[in-house]
Amino acid sequence: MVSPTAVCVLLLALCGNLQGQAQHIQPQGQGNTQLQAAPQAQGNTQPQAAPQAQGNTQPQATPQGQGNTQPQATPQGQGNTQPQATPQGQGNTQPQAAPQGQGNTQPQAAPQGQGNTQPQAAPQGQGNTQPQAAPQGQGNTQPQAAPQGQGNTQPQAAPQGQGNQPQTNTTTTTERPTRPPWPKPNCGNSALTNQLRRVFLDMHNDFRGRIARGQTEVSAGWGIAPPAALMYRMKYDCGAESYAQQSVASCRRTELPAYATGGHKQNLFVLNQANLNPKAVIHYALSQWWSQLARFGMRSNMMFYQSEYHRRARNVLKWAKMAWWNNRKVGCAVKKCGSFYLVSCMYSPGGLYVNQPVYRVAAVCSGCPRGQCDGQALCRW
């Protein structure tokens, strides 16, 4: 028969064994894992335990309908993050224990249905970004968010329903200013039509342009006349015309005296034919004056010396008046006097200055202000 003392010793030993085994006993319906235990009907993953029908991702856990950013843990029905063990039906995290139905996170716990973000939380149905949260249905851009239905651009957002288009630069072209038209002859004297005045003016400028270019005009005994640095384009002058009209009005075959020309220099031509029209007479007279260069010649430096006055019938005085570089104004007249025609032109300032050039020989238009040389190599003023 066993003594009571032995029974007590046996019971004490048995209680010690039971206490040593109690630490390894698993509650019913749970499977023990090291370091974590998975709830019933859940599949355990390393290093996290997944809730029913949900799969946990690391380093973030996702609340219902939301995608959370690290470092938060999820509430009930979500998967817990390592290194905690989970009691039945709950996923606990260390070092804090979560109330029933909630999953604890460190250092903060998220309310049910919300996912915690750092440093800001996004409302339900939004995807969280850092550092700003975008309204529902919008895609976030940095640094600005675009309204719904817009394509995001940086740094500006486009209005709803519009596609982004590259900025277009509007270029403006500045047209080169056009020269004003050269004044057309228009005088009130009915003795000469404006059409014939235009013939006088155009022929003078055509001849002057040819000599200025230095390519075609023959100077007898001196070859081709050289180009001019500066040759002004002529304008028709009604004042000069009035003196020319006075010269032909009386049908005198000689030029007016110098005191009667108003400071102009005169050319006079007598054509002993009466069966031509005035325009043809003008062409013939001006061509004869200009032909003096080709018939009698002028030295290549174009200097007008005193000897030019003593060349008698072989002089180039009429040509020199037409070609003098600074003669800017011309006015002319034509008159039929019975059996002959008279043609007279007045020039201003006149030219024929001794020991001065008819024009300065140099590169074409090199003496004309920039932008004033026209297509005929004449300088506008």
CATH code, domain carrying 206: 3.40.33.10
d(C-alpha 144, C-alpha 122), whole Å:
17
Predicted local confidence at residue 160, as pLDDT: 52
The closest alpha carbon to 185, from 289, 318, 332, 286, belongs to 332
List the structure tokens of 360.
Answer: 């300065």
pLDDT one-digit tens code per residue, 212-255: 999 999 999 999 999 999 999 999 999 999 999 999 999 999 99
Q: Is residue 304 part of a domain?
A: yes
Q: Domain containing 263: what range?
A: 194-357
For residue 318, being part of any structural domain is answered with yes
Predicted confidence (pLDDT) per residue in 274-295, tens digit = 999 999 999 999 999 999 999 9
Token pair for 269? 């031509």
**Residue 185 structure tokens:** 């002859």
pLDDT per residue as tens digits for the range 87-119: 444 443 344 433 444 444 344 443 444 434 344
Q: Decide if 295 contacts 379 (C-beta within 8 A).
A: no
- CA 170/CA 206 separation, integer angstroms: 44
DSSP tag of 378: P
Whether residue 223 lies inside any domain: the answer is yes
Q: For residue 14, name the pLDDT band (cuts at 50, 70, 90).
A: confident
Please determine, for residue 84, whether its predicted confidence score (pLDDT) is greater than 70. no
In this structure, of 92-96, 203-207, 245-249, 259-263, the range with the lowest mean pLDDT score is 92-96
d(CA 273, CA 343): 12
Q: Is residue 204 within 8 Å of residue 352, measured between CB atoms? A: no
> Rounded to whole angstroms, how far apart are CA atoms 193 and 380?
25
CA distance 229 to 234: 16
In a domain, 71, yes or no: no
Quote the CA–CA distance of 83 and 98 in Å, as a whole number: 15
362 occurs within a structural domain: no
- pTM, two decimal places: 0.55
If one counts the domains in the chain, the total is: 1
Assess if residue 117 is contained within a domain: no
Per-residue pLDDT of 289-314, as tens digits, reads 999 999 999 999 999 999 999 999 99
Q: Looking at the domain assignment, is residue 69 inside a domain? A: no
Flag whether 120 is in a domain.
Answer: no
Residue 250 in tokens: 């009386």
